[in-house]
Amino acid sequence: MKAAKRVCRKLERQYNRTGLTVHQDMYKHERNQLHLMRQKAKDSYYNWKIEATSNQKDLVRLIASISGSSPVQSLPQSSDRKALADRFAEFFVVIIDNIRNAVEYITPESLPVYQHLEIQQPPPSSAYSQNRTLINSWEV
């Protein structure tokens, strides 16, 4: 690649000195060839880097470094890890409580689908009775 750069610069100086279109064409051709050579070298380097990554985390870091973007922080900033874990736990406890409270007030009669249906308990089968007896004996 170093020799190709040298030839390209030599042709560029020759074109700038003479201004002839033949020298311009020679320079453009060599410049385009050098560009393709650089692109192939770059492609092979990054293909090698991607194939050398051992896991997805390293791959994400590599892509972030190639694209010039900084990795996205997935967790909020916190100096105390315990406090952060407690905030997450509290968030999910509140969510679960809200769901439980909403479900408490739902009855089959309040749902529009069940207004015309009569809901009955299925009769216990003999298998059900045997399983219930077995379960009750374990609870002792």
pLDDT tens digits along 70-128: 666 677 777 888 888 888 899 899 999 888 887 777 766 666 665 555 555 555 555 55
Q: Is residue 140 in a domain?
A: no
Question: In the numeric block, which tokens belong to residue 128?
Answer: 């059900």
| Residues 10 and 62 both lie in one domain | yes
| Residues 24 and 56 both lie in one domain | yes
Residue type (1 letter), 130: Q
Domain count, the chain: 2
| Residues 57 and 12 both lie in one domain | yes
Domain that holds residue 80: 74-112
pTM of the complete model beyond 0.75: no
| Residues 22 and 59 both lie in one domain | yes
| Residues 86 and 107 both lie in one domain | yes
70 touches 64 (CB < 8 A): yes
| Average pLDDT over all residues of the chain | 80
Question: In the numeric block, which tokens belong to residue 115?
Answer: 């207004």
| Residues 7 and 59 both lie in one domain | yes
Q: What is the pLDDT of residue 140?
A: 44
